[in-house]
Amino acid sequence: MTTETAPSMLSPKVLIPFMLTGTIWGSTWFVITGQIANVPPAWSVFFRFMLATPALFALAVAMGNRLKLNRAEHLLALGVGIAQFSGNFLFVYHSEQHITSGIVAVMFALLMVPNAIFAKIFIGEKVQGGFIGGSLVAIIGVAMLLVHEWNAAPLGGNVALGIVLAVGGMLAASLANVVQANPTGRGVPMVSLLAWAMLYGTVFDFAYAFVTVGPPTVPTAWQFWAGTAYLAIIGSVVTFPLHYNLVRQIGAGKTAYNGIVTVCVAMLLSTVFEGFVWDALSAGGMALALIGMGLALRARRVKAVQVQQSGSLRR
């Protein structure tokens, strides 16, 4: 184990993918609402990655990355795929049937908390004292937003269930974020690992949808497929390699800082298109969530990483 200073957040190789992923993912929360309006969420998730998987393999080939993985690498890809591209998205798509997309995005901004915990357990990242205090402030802010959502319940659904599902998705995503950065994952080109992980996740998504919902009814509306293509190519193939490379470069906790960008975009879209109504409780909660995230992630200046002599960051 060695301790090294993470790359500057202002360096172009960090700042550009950081802002890009945050902005794109901020928009995807709202696009998802159109994907579950008339299609079962399980099949919508499958259709998304049915399109994204071959595109990600094509990207790996275009980049000259090796596609052949050994047994340990395939097992890692399987775990990441089930956690990220099945568990995470199945939870999220179902949660948005009960709570607005902006609130789900705000909850996912707390990804920094399980990221920090899992990173300490699995890859030895240190948790700074200020991170805990800032996280508590952010959690209070999110709790205020959830109370507002509970009172308003604009979707007429089960808000409590929506919250539980969103938390499940957050934990699944966090586990995938951190585990892929272990020594085995660092020895695999990032896009290749994600391509195999997405393939495994897509197979699981198909099986889950078929068992729980039955045979698919293929949507005919162009709006559905336009949204699916956006989520598959822009929201997945473009962003996930950038995101996971950030996890390897600056750490899982600091990467979660782009949740602030995501939240701002998502809440703006939710206000404009989903009728989210601001009041003192929600505005105060949003302010505390943003301030807390900023305080927590400012505290994470140094990361502990395992460095492999064979060039662990090659891709």
pLDDT tens, residue by residue, 85-112:
999 999 999 998 888 787 788 788 777 7
Comparing 46-50, 130-134, 238-242, the range with the smallest average pLDDT is 130-134
Enumerate residues 6+ apart whose C-beta is below 8 A from 211: none
pLDDT at position 138 is 81
Does position 310 have pLDDT exceeding 70, yes or no?
no
Enumerate residues 6+ apart whose C-beta is below 8 A from 42: 90, 93, 205, 208, 209, 212, 213
What share of the chain in percent tops pLDDT 70?
85
pLDDT tens, residue by residue, 6-41:
566 667 778 888 889 989 988 988 899 889 888 999
Backbone angles phi, psi at 272, to 5 degrees: -75, -40
pLDDT at position 266 is 82
Q: 29-55 b/e with 16+ CB inside 10 Å = b?
A: bbbbbbbbeebbbbbbbbbbbebbbbb
Cα–Cα dist 192/69, whole Å: 9
Residue 56: closest CA among 180, 173, 193? 193
What is the band of 176 on the pLDDT scale with cuts at 50, 70, 90?
A: confident
Report the first-to-last Cα separation within the chain, whole angstroms.
Answer: 22
Q: Indicate the SS3 state at residue 5.
A: strand
Q: What is the DSSP letter of 8?
A: P
The overall average pLDDT reported for the chain is 82
Residue 62 tokens read as 């275009």
